[in-house]
């Protein structure tokens, strides 16, 4: 995989594993439009790279996997390089779901809002002992509609639905090296 410089991600491929790290720990790895654009590029490259067997999505630092959309970034008025108005987060979600490789969320710290959705869309979520999952929408009178991604019809179409890979697993720190 050719290395492309990313500003908001660290992308590494080693031993047939592509690790995509959201690298914005100063804002709890929340994403903005640029982060979404970079995630689209990274998942597209890793997902169809013949040298990659599995993709791991994680967040930099130990405080958060991803705290969802960056509420301090331009008040949501993002216009991307591709002419996309608003963050292309739904395209990121579709790629996670549709790439022909297993996608593993490696969660430590907060997985809140859109970060929780990213973890839920992965084929496998591995959570550290300090992982905290949650949605803020219901407290504000809205919900994240996961129905298109988690309905029985959608799950039946998932790449690993028949093998039962969708699960949440909690591992002790001794079993998983977080550094």
On the question of pLDDT at 1 being above 50, the answer is no
pLDDT reported for residue 144? 54
Region class of 28: left (phi > 0), else alpha (psi between -120 and 50), else beta: left
CA pair distance 126, 65, nearest whole angstrom: 11
Q: Cα dist. 2→38, 39, 49, 93, 177 in Å?
A: 14, 15, 10, 23, 26
Rounded to the nearest 10°, the torsion over CA 110, 20, 40, 126 is -50
On the question of pLDDT at 154 being above 50, the answer is no
CA angle in degrees (0–180, nearest 5) for 142-8-60: 80
Element (DSSP H or E) covering residue 167: strand 167-170
CA pair distance 64, 110, nearest whole angstrom: 4
Question: Any residues with CB less than 8 A from the CB of 173 and at least 6 apart, and which?
Answer: 128, 129
CA 140 to chain CA mean position, Å: 23
Range with the poorest average pLDDT among 19-33, 73-87, 90-104: 73-87
Residue at token pair 């839920």: 120
Q: 168 or 86: which carries more pLDDT confidence?
A: 86
pLDDT reported for residue 72? 76
pLDDT reported for residue 79? 54
On the question of pLDDT at 27 being above 70, the answer is yes
Assign 71 a pLDDT band (cuts: 50, 70, 90): confident
Q: Is the pTM of this model over 0.85?
A: no
Give the pLDDT mean for 155-159.
45
Question: Any residues with CB less than 8 A from the CB of 91 and at least 6 apart, and which?
Answer: 36, 40
On the question of pLDDT at 117 being above 50, the answer is yes
DSSP assignment letter at 163: G
The mean pLDDT of the chain is: 78
Rounded to the nearest 10°, the torsion over CA 20, 26, 28, 34 is -50
CATH code of the region 9-170: 3.90.226.10
């Amino acid at each position: 995989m050719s290395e492309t410089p990313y500003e908001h991600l660290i992308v590494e491929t080693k031993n047939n594993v592509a690790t995509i790290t959201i690298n914005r720990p100063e804002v709890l790895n929340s994403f903005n439009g640029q982060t979404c654009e970079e995630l689209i590029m990274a998942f597209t490259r890793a997902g169809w790279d013949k040298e990659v067997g599995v993709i791991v999505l994680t967040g930099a630092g130990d405080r958060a996997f991803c705290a969802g959309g960056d509420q301090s970034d331009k008040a949501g008025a993002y216009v991307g390089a591709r002419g996309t108005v608003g963050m292309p987060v739904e395209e990121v979600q579709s790629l996670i779901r549709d790439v022909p490789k297993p996608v593993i969320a490696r969660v430590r710290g907060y997985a809140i809002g859109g970060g929780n959705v990213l973890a839920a869309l992965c084929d496998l979520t591995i959570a550290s002992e300090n992982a905290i999952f949650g949605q803020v929408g219901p407290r504000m009178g809205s919900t994240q509609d996961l129905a298109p991604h988690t309905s029985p019809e959608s799950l039946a179409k998932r790449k690993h639905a028949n093998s039962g890979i969708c699960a949440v697993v909690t591992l002790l720190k001794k079993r998983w090296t977080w550094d």
